[in-house]
Amino acid sequence: MSQVSALIGLGNPGPEYAATRHNAGVWMVDAVARATNTSLRPEKKFLGLYAKVNFSGHTLHLLNPTTFMNRSGTSVAALCQFFKLSPEQLLIAHDELDLPAGQARYKTGGGHGGHGGHNGLRDIISALGNQKQFHRLRIGVGHPGSAHQVVNYVLGRPGKTEQSAIEQALEECLATLPLALGGDWANAMNRQHRFSAASE
């Protein structure tokens, strides 16, 4: 199994989207950047904000595409081409409607999710020539209860309790990430999947 060498956070660019649920993947990448005292900088060739960090002894490319969510694949494909990365070397962090806020799960391969799918994942799969074998970090944001409300829900901001739960889950992701980067998926998953943020 290839070592993960890039962590990509899905979201929409611009201040009006920064605090919305759809940007949970971006928050994860930002958390890793903060943990390594690094700032992501605009990188034209990757159509995103990029940094190279050393996280727990692992060299890791961080990328937050600044294309809109449904064009994320262009940015991811550019990074892969430049660094000659295979899909198996990618860990894509994204918001997940099927998990409650306060939970996060690792997953390898698969499609682009239920409920009509995740536009960011769908575009990445397509841009990688239909290869789906990248790893995902699914960050729970909960579900509004009705498919019709999904768009407004993911483009809305989480409430205070929900935000706190998501942040606790991201903290746990930071703690399990070194295991994942080292290829120890069983332990990373085991620990991450047992975690659920304490609700207020």
Catalytic residues: 22
CA distance 140 to 148: 19
How far is 79 from 170, CA to CA, in rounded Å?
24
What residue spans of the chain are helical by DSSP H? 24-35, 72-83, 119-127, 150-154, 160-181, 185-194
At 169, the amino acid letter reads A
What are the structure tokens assigned to 14, written together?
């611009």
Alpha-carbon distance 89 to 106, whole Å?
Answer: 14
The C-alpha atoms of residue 115 and residue 139 are separated, in whole angstroms, by 16
DSSP state of 172: H
Number of H-type helices and E-type strands within the chain: 6, 7
> How far apart (Å, rounded) are the C-alpha atoms in residues 90 and 134?
5
